[in-house]
Chains A and B, each alone.
Chain A
Amino acid sequence: MAELGKKILNKIKSEAIKPCPRWKFLLKNYSWWLAGAASMFVGSLSFSVVFYMLANNDWDIYHRINVSLAKFIFLTLPYFWLTLLALFIILADYYLRHTKRGYRFSLFKIVGASVILSVILGGIFYYGGVAAAIESALSRAAPSYNKLIFGPGRIWLQPEKGLLAGTIITLRNNGFLLKDFNGQIWEIKTESALIHPPVNLIAGARVKIIGQKQGQNKFIAQEIRPLFGKSGHCWRRHSLNYNH
């Protein structure tokens, strides 16, 4: 043991062992912080979309499908975004715990701080219109996203109960052809439909429809709402003038 010190020192000198440069440790620590901050940022974005979807949920239609309010909430919760939010909070905890002093904070404190920050930032993103932009962009870029939110098992794919959602394919006299998010084509009659702004009846528009199923693939529309976002309060009766 007496010689251990000399042995170590000789090894350091003979093998030219040097202390690792400080910048490497700083880079490693900053990387963990950056990853943690990025996770919190994405978590906040997820929260803003959750808030947006809940704020723009069609609360008025739950009586149409004969379910209780509690069940309606259960059916319409944005599970995808809530899962994403939970995932990024967990990731934020993981990354922050790997920072130099992150171990000093309990799981409760780090997760608690992540949740609070997500709510605050998420609120800012929501009021800044970021959530609406995310929904709109995803809906256009990823058809599978629409299927996830409006597809099988979701509220707006229940034609027997008078609820449909999809994309307008072509316009016709007195209506249009709609492809729902399960891939089925519907002939929609719009003679007496009330159309909520900002809906514009053009090919490619994505809409939600309240009405009545008639036969296999026919549907009489009573109300047409935008797929995302709040329906406008200014109602107008559908006219025969289409925007071709």
Chain B
Amino acid sequence: MVTERDCQGKKDEELVGKILVNPDYFLCLIKRYEIKLFYYIKRISGLRDEEIEDILQDVFIKVYKNLNDFDHSLKFSSWVYRITHNQVISNFRRNQARPQVVWDEDSSVLENIAAEFNIEQKIDLKILKNNINTILGLMDKKYREVLVLRFLEEKDYQEISDILKKPIGTVGTLINRGKKQFLKILNNSVLKKAVKG
């Protein structure tokens, strides 16, 4: 039986090799990624916890079945996120639903986003927080998914490229265009509220 001590100090890539010999080591990877992936699925789907756990189970089974396909030239986390992303998409295709972005981050993340997006000071962070779910939900899927990975999951461009299987140049372009669309929707929503108010 594999214990927590067996998992400590071992890199993900190392654990992959061990799992192929002894499946019990898979528990190490599950414990390492279950929380991160849980919140990632929650952010991009808005599903209930029970549904997320079902998807998470499917993800890990898929990860296990495809261990021999893991490409050591990329980070294991990028590969796992890729499988998770694809599993959420196929889940929505099966249920013919639209992914709902859920935001429940703290204000420090909001401040970082405000700075990164050059959001004007006069736009209250409260307004941003209240509108962010709506804004992300209104955005094009291709922009939304890169913005979630970049600013909420804090992935770098190479990781996003590996997760979404897009060239790194395309990722940069999508992030820039995503920011513009985000600001446009935000400004429109602020303007509408100002006119109404």
Same complex? yes
CB-defined interface of B73-91 with A at 8 Å, one 1/0 digit per residue?
1000000000000000000
Structural contact, A5 and B57, CB atoms closer than 8 A: no
Q: Which of A4, A17, A22, A105 contacts B56 (CB 8 A)?
A: A4
Which of B38, B165, B170 has the most C-beta atoms of chain A within 10 angstroms of its own C-beta? B165
Cβ-based interface call for A236 (8 A): no
Question: Min CB distance, A113 to chain B, in Å?
Answer: 14
Structural contact, A1 and B38, CB atoms closer than 8 A: yes
The interface residues of chain A, by DSSP majority, are classed as: helix
Structural contact, B65 and A9, CB atoms closer than 8 A: no
Structural contact, B168 and A4, CB atoms closer than 8 A: no
Number of inter-chain CB pairs below 8 Å: 70
Question: What B residues does A12 contact at CB under 8 A?
Answer: 23, 26, 61, 64
Structural contact, A104 and B161, CB atoms closer than 8 A: yes
Cβ-based interface call for A237 (8 A): no
Q: Which of A1, A21, A103 contacts B166 (CB 8 A)?
A: A103
Distance, CA A32 to CA B23, complexed state (A): 30
Structural contact, A19 and B66, CB atoms closer than 8 A: yes
Question: Min CB distance, B36 to chain A, in Å?
Answer: 12
Distance, CA A101 to CA B60, complexed state (A): 23
How many chain A residues touch B (CB < 8 A): the figure is: 24
CB-defined interface of B1-41 with A at 8 Å, one 1/0 digit per residue?
00000000000000000011001101100110011001000
Question: What A residues does B166 contact at CB under 8 A?
Answer: 103
Question: Min CB distance, A10 to chain B, in Å?
Answer: 11
Question: What B residues does A20 contact at CB under 8 A?
Answer: 65-66, 68-69
Structural contact, B23 and A13, CB atoms closer than 8 A: yes
Which of B57, B60, B167 has the most C-beta atoms of chain A within 10 angstroms of its own C-beta? B167
Contact A8/B61 with A101-B73, A103-B167, A106-B170 known, Cβ cut-off 8 Å: yes
Question: What A residues does B71 contact at CB under 8 A?
Answer: 100-101
Q: Which of B27, B35, B168 contacts A9 (CB 8 A)?
A: B27
Cβ-based interface call for B109 (8 A): no
Could you jot down 5 A-B contacts, CB within 8 Å?
Answer: A9-B30, A17-B61, A19-B19, A101-B73, A103-B167
**Which residues of A are in contact with B by a Cβ distance under 8 Å?**
1, 4-9, 11-13, 17-22, 24-25, 100-101, 103-106
